[in-house]
Chains A and B, each alone.
Chain A
Amino acid sequence: MRRSFRFNHSKRDVADEIGFHLDMRTREFIERGMSVEEARRAAAASFGDVAAIEAECRDQRAMRAREHARRDMLQGLSLDLRVALRSLWRRPAFTAAATLTLTLGIGAAAAVFAIVSGVLVRPLPYHNPDRLVMVWLTGSEVHGSSSQLPLSAPTYLDVRHDVPALTSSAAFRSWSYTISEGNEPEQVDGVRVTPALLATLGVRPAIGRDFTDPDGTPNAPHVVIISDALWRRRWGGDPSVLGKRISLSGERFTVIGIAPRGFAFPRGAELPSGLQFPMRTDVWTPLTFGEDDLKNRWTLNLAAVARLRDGVTLAAADAQLAALGQRLDAQFAGGKGQIAMHAVTVADQAAAPVRRTLLILLGAVALVLVIACVNVANLLIARTSARARELAVRTALGAGGARLARQLVVENTLLAALGAAGGIVVAAFATRVMLALVPGQLPRADDIAVDWRVLLAAAACAVIAGIIFGVAAAVHARGAPLAPVLSGGSARATSGLARTSGRRLLVGAQIAFSLVLLVGAGLLAASFVRLERVDPGFVPEHAVTARISLPIGATFDPKRDGPAWSAFFTRLVERAGVLPNVTAAGAVSILPLTGDPESSGFAIEGRPPAAPGQGPGAEYFVLAGDYFRAMGMRLLTGRGFAAADRAETPRVIIVSRELERRYFPGDHAIGHRIQCGCDFTPGSREIVGVVDDVRVTGLGEPPAPAVYLPETQMTYPQLSLVMRTTGDPVGTIPALRRELRALAPGVALEQVRTLRDVFSASLARQRFSLVLIGAFAIAALALAVVGLYGVIALSVGERRRELGVRLALGARPVTVLRLVLGEGARIAAAGIVVGLAGSALATRLLRGMLYDVGPADATVYGVAALIVGIVALASAWLPARAATRVDPALALRSD
């Protein structure tokens, strides 16, 4: 017989056992002739320290209890797991549907999270990256644009010496080099930097040495650090390149170091696009300041990065920079507050332009995930109803509620885990696909990867989903009354009113969410279509462009080298113009729709001079050849540049319509003379033509005043050639390459693309948002529709008897149809109303992203609601038709 006292069981147990032993020993001694008292004492003495032994035994029991508990739990779990796997295997349709839905939902969410994590969360790959800042100048009215202007050499030196909040700083500017070792000349993206750049970032070359201060002095020997990617690509990773001299743009540089793998600072997408930094940097050479640089306070061409001193906050550094800005303002701009300085952390600099878009995308994909999880939850609940009998039997036989609940939780967590595992695979692909939509334009694209954060997020989604499913299913199962189910009663008995309304509510919510996404997609689509229709000011069809950069050595002097550049471009454009299939050829310093152009102030002759930074400003472009005709731009009055406009002939300039409208209101610009700040040499130019506006910064930005100068009179080493062709524009490129090689063998064509590509690329970011939100909207709608179908079908199944009775009593099939459709319509209508309200709120987030479309555009809302309504009714149609086919006799007979 077993003692089953629970009270202090183990303690009693040990004491009992030892007590028995002592008892027996005492008896033994008594048998030998001792008295009871003596026997007891002898027994105790021969036993030892009873209390200590008891304590040790109790410890053993406790450890044993713990081990057994752990073992039981593991066994229980492994059992649950086995049962769960088996039950999923037996219902392939259900398992496939649920797993697929979860995989797509979690996969999409993980992919977007990967992008968000890479761009917004992951620390930049530099030492203590949150202490790094970029320093910018702010100019209002100056040069027509932004709040992030580059610095000049004297300003940078002021920052370096007069701002104690920054310990280390470096300035840099982009510089394209041509490597012409042996085979094909190759254009490499380079950057000229002050020697402290890598040190400021806390990065050391993987092989070789960093720049030192002597490398930055004006007549130091030329040295270069190359990137790991370039090293592997061009020298096969051979370390013997260290110490060799390579030829960059005609000058010899000694390779002193190779940057660590993956280092490519500055990465163009992380900096203002107007600075034209390349996507990744491949060579770094020292930047030196010559006498001219130091005198010229208003040639703004240097970006600056600095490290905050330990213990100093960004606000403090910002305050010091503001003070410096005020000093400069007072000294040079009459103290009117037009010049200021500020600092931005490097991470913010990279993330700020896209943060809002990415967070909106994350919100959208979260909605899709919720909708997907609701669908799977409904599937599970439907299946649990089907298993009601099995669960009822188990309960009747003694399985506790907790045990059943645990089983269900394990089943659902397994499902969620499968979904998450598939989702991670989907995410890896989906991330690549999404990034392909915005080539080169997404900041920190290189930092995006499916890393531990993404895995953790996917796992978290799965765990939460699994728990929700399990709890919902368990609650549902508990509520099922046992008796009618056991006696064979069908689903008729299992749906209480509360549960049916719950399902309807969930589906209604799904419809509402998908409507919100659809409205968002619709607004973005409308905006995109309107943007695409904007007249860019040129004709994108049948034209191709290629950029050509003449090699410029470190000591570049426009005055000395200019004529050679001019001669080269003039001849090249001439030769391009007579190639077969080419109708016109020209070149320009900055193509439209490719970023912020350079701008400068100008003065109109005959008008009172304005204070510096306050006068008229315009974007300036340097042209060669028959540019306007090649681009398809409209010349309004006057003439274009001709062969007659040369260095020695009178200096001329062409202006844009916007400039004429703004600065010569009611008058003709032709004939006036203006002095452009961008000119290398002083002296005014005569306006000889007015050309129509083109969109330069983006299709959505209104055109700014622009001036055009002939390359022969303002030399420029880098121009983009444009050729207008009959037929396929790209076909003319090989011929162009031949001409280029004949003229200048060491020069390569870069960025060869058609004007149509340029046009499309300028819309890449909008296209990205549109495609993604559109995809999410479609997915959400599909899931919601499936959910609605499920609910209506279930409802018809439950009401078979009732419908059978109605039909038997003479109701027309149309009435039954209307009954069922009505149910679907009610749910859909409720969802649509809530969805419209939600859209009105949610689309306010899209404010900055829409062009010419208000967030409350009635057409879009109407169309979206209509689409959702039609699709929802269509999904309710099928079960409704099935309902009309119910055979009354069968329905009445079945249980």
Chain B
Amino acid sequence: MLALGAKSGEWGSPLVDIGLNEVYTYLTNACERRMAGSNLYTGTLDLLILKAVSWGPRHGYAIGRWIRETTEDVLVVQEGVLYPALHRLERRGLLKEEWRRSETGRDAKYYTLTAAGRRELRAETSRWIEHTRAVNRALAVAT
């Protein structure tokens, strides 16, 4: 059965889908994960962004505001740093982007969590919890 699509659409039967897309994404993510692990700050920001988006599509400003408010201004972020992080996450396939009309009537770019993003969020969250638990334990030892 031919699935009709646009000029660059699919013509083949999905039964035989090699899934090059996913393979490629996985490989890129694997590289990035290794690189991201080395910069604790970048990793933390990514984690917060993923969390912020987990309840539904948000635009960049909303994400930044949420981080500010929920961490009670403890994490003071140069707001601009947010945007390269958002683009990087989109490139890694963890976020999906879409231009929409915002509540103010102006167009804004909204980000949504993809399935891969959701998995990454879960994994990074548990890793963060383990990490902090371990550090806390170490620090709790009386000197």
Give the B-binding residues of A (Cβ under 8 A): 1-3, 13-14, 16-18, 20-21, 23-25, 27-28, 46-50, 52-53, 56-57, 60-61, 63-64, 67, 71-72, 74-76, 78-79, 82-83, 397-400, 403
Contacts and interface: CB of A to CB of B under 8 A. Distances in A.
A84 to B, nearest CB: 11
Given A20-B109, A64-B91, A83-B11, 9 more contacts: A20-B60, A20-B106, A46-B79, A63-B91, A64-B87, A64-B90, A74-B20, A75-B20, A399-B7
Contact of B83 (A2, A57, A64, A76): A57
Interface stretch (B42-50, B96-104, B118-126, B134-142): B96-104
A64 to B, nearest CB: 4
Contacts of B59: 20
A2 B21 contact: no
A57 B79 contact: no
Given A3-B107, A47-B79, A48-B81, A60 B20 contact: no
A488 B117 CA distance: 51
B24 interface: yes
Contacts of B24: 67, 71, 74
A82 B15 CA distance: 12
Interface in B1-51: 4, 6-8, 10-12, 16, 18, 20-21, 24, 28
Given A17-B60, A79-B11, A23 B106 contact: yes
A27 B61 CA distance: 12
B87 A60 contact: yes
Contact of B7 (A1, A56, A61, A403): A403
Contacts of B108: 17, 20
Contacts of A60: 84, 87-88, 91
Contacts of A1: 101
Given A21-B79, A57-B84, A82 B12 contact: yes
30 contacts: A1-B101, A2-B99, A14-B83, A16-B107, A16-B109, A17-B108, A17-B109, A18-B80, A20-B106, A20-B107, A21-B61, A27-B104, A47-B79, A48-B80, A48-B81, A52-B80, A56-B83, A57-B83, A57-B84, A57-B87, A60-B88, A63-B91, A67-B28, A78-B20, A79-B12, A82-B12, A82-B16, A83-B12, A397-B4, A400-B7
B103 to A, nearest CB: 10
Given A17-B109, A57-B84, A48 B78 contact: yes
Given A17-B60, A17-B109, A20-B61, A25 B79 contact: yes
Given A23-B106, A72-B8, A83-B12, A53 B83 contact: yes
A2 B60 CA distance: 18
A861 B4 CA distance: 59
Nearest to B6: A398
Interface residues of B, number: 36
Contacts, number: 92
B7 A398 contact: yes
B80 A75 contact: no
Contacts of B84: 53, 56-57, 60
Given A25-B61, A83-B11, A49 B20 contact: no
A71 to B, nearest CB: 5
Contacts of A75: 20-21
Contacts of A399: 7
Contacts of A20: 59-61, 102, 106-109
Contact of B60 (A21, A28, A71, A403): A21
Give the most central of B21, B59, B61: most A CB within 10 Å: B61
A2 B110 CA distance: 12
Contacts of B20: 71, 74-75, 78
A843 B11 CA distance: 54
Contacts of A47: 78-80
A74 B27 CA distance: 15
B31 to A, nearest CB: 12
A49 B11 contact: no
Nearest to B106: A20
B10 to A, nearest CB: 8
A21, A52, A78, A397 interface centre (most CB from chain B within 10 Å): A21
Contacts of B87: 57, 60-61, 64
Contacts of A2: 99
Given A17-B60, A60-B91, A82-B16, A49 B80 contact: yes
The 9 A-B residue pairs with the shortest CB-CB distance in the complex, in nearest-first order: A48-B80, A60-B87, A53-B80, A24-B61, A48-B78, A64-B91, A21-B61, A56-B84, A20-B108
